[in-house]
Amino acid sequence: MINTSRIGLLLALAVLCVTAGQKNGSVPVRGPCGLPLDEGICAAICPRWYFDASVGCCLPFTYGCCGGNDNNFITRQLCENVCSENNRVCPGTLCLLRPCSTQTCPNFQYAKCFRVCPCKSVWIYNGEDVSSRCDN
């Protein structure tokens, strides 16, 4: 049986993405947001979000719960915070903190730092933003 409400949601998201992509034009995407969709190597079901650079927004996908790449976010909001140009509010050029290059996240040894603005970065571990728990 086809789940029509899920198909409707996906179609609505696709329309929003195409519209957003047309407004922004073609901008090169770096970091995790430029990586292709990768469902991972396991067969479990973990609902996640990824950034589709071809249309310019975050879309849902089913992650296998292991493997994959860094274009894998637990929530749509986190995906948009890291990847969407529309949601970035970058501070001025005077930085009080250095993003990524000199900071570490001791509580999450395998967390990766991604720069979202010249002076702002987020720490992602297993698709989750752990920035507030890094004790920087």
Q: What is the pLDDT of residues 39-69, one digit of tens each?
A: 999 999 999 999 998 888 899 999 999 999 9
Which residue's structure tokens are 């749509």? 76
- 3-class secondary-structure state, position 131: helix
CA 5 to chain centre: 24
In angstroms, rounded to a whole number, what is the distance separating the alpha carbons of residues 101 and 34?
20
Q: How far apart are CA 130 and CA 136, in angstroms?
A: 11
Domains of the chain: 29-87 (4.10.410.10), 94-136 (no CATH)
The answer to whether the CB of 67 falls within 8 A of the CB of 118 is: no
Whether 23 shows a pLDDT value over 50: the answer reads no
pTM score of the predicted model: 0.60
Backbone angles phi, psi at 115, to 5 degrees: -80, 120
- The token pair at 36 is 């292709």
Q: Identify whether the C-beta of residue 49 lies closer than 8 Å to the C-beta of residue 81.
A: no
